[in-house]
Structure 1
Amino acid sequence: MPANASSDPAQADPHDYCAIDFGTSNSAVAVPAGAGMELVPLEPKHGERGRTMPTAVFYVAEGKDLHTLPKLYGRAAVAAYVDGTDGRLMRSMKSVLGSALMEQHTDIGAGRSVAFGDVIASYLLHLKRAAQAHAGREIERVVLGRPVFFVDDDPERDAAAQASLEDAARAVGFSEVRFQYEPIAAAFHYEEQVTREQTVIVADIGGGTSDFSVVRVGPERRTRVDRRADILASHGVHSAGTDFDRHVELARILPALGFGAYGPPRKGREPLEVPSRIYFDLATWHLINTVYRPQRVMEIAAMRDDYADPRHHARLMTTLRDRLGHALAGLAEDAKIAVAQGGTHEIDLFEIERDLVVSVSEDEAVAAISHDLERIVQTARDTARLAGLKADDIDALYFTGGSTGLRLLADRLAAAFPNAQAVHGDRFASVATGLGLEARRHFAAA
């Protein structure tokens, strides 16, 4: 408990709460302001964009006082990585929740390691401090957003994921921790603008999960403290923006490094496909750093004769030695965004090999992510079915989350609910704003 905080609940600051949208790609925080809630400018120099911050931590591995684990957050963390500062960039930390990695330590350079749970706690502490600095008071209570499923089809691991996130929140000083589904929070934000009662399906599609909720909203409902009866169904699938990027990378970039290639013919048998695990790890954000371990690099180096085209092996080795995995993931994301409105995008892989360029067309990107798109659209349909509704019963389809900017996905979802008005909310702040409304509704009434 802070030194200036009272142990008497009657003397506690009634505004000592916040709401945190801890996202796979970006995060945001809302705090009480006047009679409402406002988003904290986490990175003020970036203006409106600074209301959200990349969910990224960079552990510095050069300079003085490395024993204190110096680190950077958000855009500064990404910039340090891009600038080539010696250290370790951690992104997509939310994806680790519920996995075996939560029990492990990871190397952060200069002979140091840190537990994944401590990485998440460190980031939450940074958000908490930013909220306190903006609000001018200690903050001890929080509503945290969570996906409908941290882990698909595994209730035990899903519960463990929420417990780990709660442990991290309590470790940084939150004495009361509540959770709300992210798409339901977005529904509360949408409700602020409706003038009549509606049944809305919220599509919250971010970096790690695609979540849907069917919620009754309306002017008379928004003042109610208990909204459980208005939540008709929630459902989700662990497939979203980072999966799109991964599949684009596997389909269009990594074949230039040997993914899907074959080895030389051997006497008496057909050529064998080169091992693929290294490529899948190289295309998965939270596994990229595992491919740089000395033992794995030595194993890949010894596989040179398993490649029919020696250029593939040479490019892969350059990628590992120069630690270009995150850069390739970024190029895949850029390509996905570039072709979202049609056309073709060229990806320059000059850091791997001079004059090495691959292209991605809209059709190729669609082919790469088609399975994900179908899963997401079917999950939306299933959510309406779980609510006991037909597609035609949905009045509005409310889009939030960074990946709803992908036109192909938004169009397919809209086609699944032909009578619903398609409404695009704030892709990066709707959930945080809705979580703020939930926090105010609960804590202010307590």
Structure 2
Amino acid sequence: MTTISCGIDFGTSNSSIAIDKDGEISLVPVENAQVTIPSAIFFQRSDNKAFYGRMAVNLFFDRQDGRFMRSLKRVLGTPLMKQGTLVNGASMNFSSIITSFLKHIKNKADAVAGQELEHVVMGRPVHFVDNDPAADARAQDELRAIAQRIGFKHIEFQFEPIAAAFAHEARLSGEKLAIVADLGGGTSDFTVIRLSNQYIHKADRSSDILANTGIRVGGNDFDKELSLAAIMPELGYRSTYGEKYLEVPLKPFHDLAEWSKVNFLYTPKIIQQVRQLLHQSHDKKRYRRLLNVLEHETGHTLLAAAEGAKIVLSDQYEYKALFDFIEEDFSIGIQRSVFEEAIREDVDKIAASARQCLMEAGVRNQDIDLVILTGGTTEVYSVQAEFKRLFPNAAIADENKLSSVGLGLAYDSQNKFGEKRERS
């Protein structure tokens, strides 16, 4: 039996897996006919059964009883990996939760391959954790251990922007100097690389890769900034209370605007604190909305509304977001200009990381022939405008935004494991 290898793109927002079968690279349908799956998991309260992807999202928004989680990748390398979390009243560590999700994806690929897959190239951001090499190394080690736990015996890693470059390379004619911008939910990563369809099967690409940079800023941060700027003020954010007109605690609002922290807010202690402050609030109507969200555990619904507004504002100048799950006929009008101002610092950080990549590669903006945009965050209008400004003479390639990393990882698995398989 021919050994089949694969590549796994475990993303903050979406994930995919692609296989190299008989020299043909293809994405595996991981949720019905879909080749990408939201990186989400829902544990049903009655029996703790796990549901994944769109099914998990739908169960949660249908108000089924259970525990919903997203953005699990951002936990890697952090103290939360050891602390774990409560799932339907029982303690569960994040390693087990991520294992469950990735095993689900692998099972789909095993079925398509007709065998237990043992060879994998796992995608990874340039930095799991910014400015902390020890935490970054720990995150990769944690992901390696999870890959071993789900049945992989031969595990390699590749930077996600390099993988995206490999996915585009097959369609190129001639040599191109490219910068890859992989902007996902949790990180923004860049690679300057020489590409050619003549290089596809080169086992060693180190001489073609001129530089890598990355920053822990992505689409989830855009959701947070939009929420804090346009939505949270309508829930009492930065309002005051008491005789001294003190500002209400900001931490609940910040946690409510971050996918990985929402679930930690639904504790009796926090809810009681908000109830007590409501009596002293100078803006009871708005602050009561915060209490409503906490009591009814609709924080993820609130964040999903922010994410939806972000997506619409990439195409429209204004949007009326509905929040009738908080209060009847409650809506907030949001303008694109407010969104762009809210994320301006984050976009500046992303652009600075791209410029740093050029500097480390020893090339100029005008030397770049091709800009490869991958990841859902590249859909944001101000992000696209920034890259067109940075590289006015380059061609823009932005097809397969959500699946190019998975495809490229499978191409890399072909090169990394092909010769080893033939010798075995």
TM-score (norm 2): 0.97
1:40 and 2:18 aligned: no
Residue equivalent to 2:226: 248
**Contact kept? 1:52, 1:429, Cα under 8 Å:** yes
CA distance, structure 2, for counterparts of residue 196 and residue 17 of structure 1:
28
Matches within 5 A, 1:366-445: 366-445=340-419
CA distance, structure 1, for counterparts of residue 132 and residue 356 of structure 2:
18
CA distance, structure 2, for counterparts of residue 343 and residue 405 of structure 1:
15
- Post-superposition CA distance 1:96-132 (Å, at most 9, x none): 11111001121111x3221111100111111111110
Residue equivalent to 2:14: 26
Residue equivalent to 1:258: 236
Alignment partner for residue 53 of structure 1, among 15, 37, 43?
37
Residue equivalent to 1:150: 128
CA distance, structure 2, for counterparts of residue 302 and residue 72 of structure 1:
37
Partner amino acid, structure 2, of 1:342 = Q
Residue equivalent to 1:5: none
1:365 and 2:344 aligned: no
CA distance, structure 2, for counterparts of residue 117 and residue 105 of structure 1:
8
CA distance, structure 2, for counterparts of residue 221 and residue 34 of structure 1:
20
CA distance, structure 2, for counterparts of residue 15 and residue 407 of structure 1:
43
CA distance, structure 1, for counterparts of residue 137 and residue 408 of structure 2:
23
Residue equivalent to 1:115: 93
CA distance, structure 1, for counterparts of residue 269 and residue 150 of structure 2:
36
Matches within 5 A, 1:43-82: 43-44=31-32, 47=33, 50-62=34-46, 66=47, 69-82=48-61
Alignment partner for residue 285 of structure 1, among 259, 268, 271?
259
Helix, strand or coil for the counterpart of 1:351?
coil
How far apart are 1:76 and its partner, in Å?
0.7
How far apart are 1:261 and its partner, in Å?
1.4
Helix, strand or coil for the counterpart of 1:223?
coil
Partner amino acid, structure 1, of 2:150 = V
**Contact kept? 2:5, 2:410, Cα under 8 Å:** no
CA distance, structure 2, for counterparts of residue 445 and residue 426 of structure 1:
28
**Contact kept? 1:249, 1:283, Cα under 8 Å:** yes
Helix, strand or coil for the counterpart of 2:185?
coil
Partner amino acid, structure 2, of 1:92 = S
How far apart are 1:14 and its partner, in Å?
4.1
How far apart are 1:17 and its partner, in Å?
2.2
Residue equivalent to 1:301: 275
* Count, aligned residues: 420
CA distance, structure 2, for counterparts of residue 77 and residue 231 of structure 1:
38
Alignment partner for residue 197 of structure 1, among 168, 175, 189?
175
How far apart are 1:314 and its partner, in Å?
1.3
Residue equivalent to 2:80: 101
Partner amino acid, structure 2, of 1:101 = L
1:318 and 2:292 aligned: yes
Alignment partner for residue 3 of structure 2, among 15, 31, 35?
15
Partner amino acid, structure 2, of 1:34 = D
1:91 and 2:70 aligned: yes
Indicate the RMSD between aligned Cα atoms, in angstroms: 1.2
Moved more, 290-299 or 120-129: 290-299
How far apart are 1:265 and its partner, in Å?
4.3
- Provide structure 1 residue ranges, at least 5 long, that are not aligned to the other structure: 1-12
How far apart are 1:136 and its partner, in Å?
0.9
Helix, strand or coil for the counterpart of 1:134?
helix
Helix, strand or coil for the counterpart of 1:332?
helix
Helix, strand or coil for the counterpart of 1:412?
helix
CA distance, structure 2, for counterparts of residue 335 and residue 220 of structure 1:
43
CA distance, structure 1, for counterparts of residue 334 and residue 406 of structure 2:
34
CA distance, structure 2, for counterparts of residue 439 and residue 35 of structure 1:
11
1:224 and 2:198 aligned: no
Alignment partner for residue 325 of structure 2, among 351, 355, 364?
351
CA distance, structure 2, for counterparts of residue 336 and residue 141 of structure 1:
38
CA distance, structure 1, for counterparts of residue 323 and residue 23 of structure 2:
52
How far apart are 1:310 and its partner, in Å?
1.3
CA distance, structure 1, for counterparts of residue 280 and residue 195 of structure 2:
60
Partner amino acid, structure 2, of 1:60 = Q
How far apart are 1:382 and its partner, in Å?
0.8
CA distance, structure 1, for counterparts of residue 415 and residue 98 of structure 2:
27
How far apart are 1:233 and its partner, in Å?
0.4
TM-score (norm 1): 0.92
**Contact kept? 1:399, 1:427, Cα under 8 Å:** yes
Residue equivalent to 1:130: 108
How far apart are 1:295 and its partner, in Å?
1.9
CA distance, structure 2, for counterparts of residue 128 and residue 340 of structure 1:
34
How far apart are 1:335 and its partner, in Å?
0.5
Q: Cα–Cα, structure 1 residues 29 and 273, in superposed 2: closer, same or farther, change >3 Å?
A: same
**Contact kept? 1:144, 1:177, Cα under 8 Å:** yes
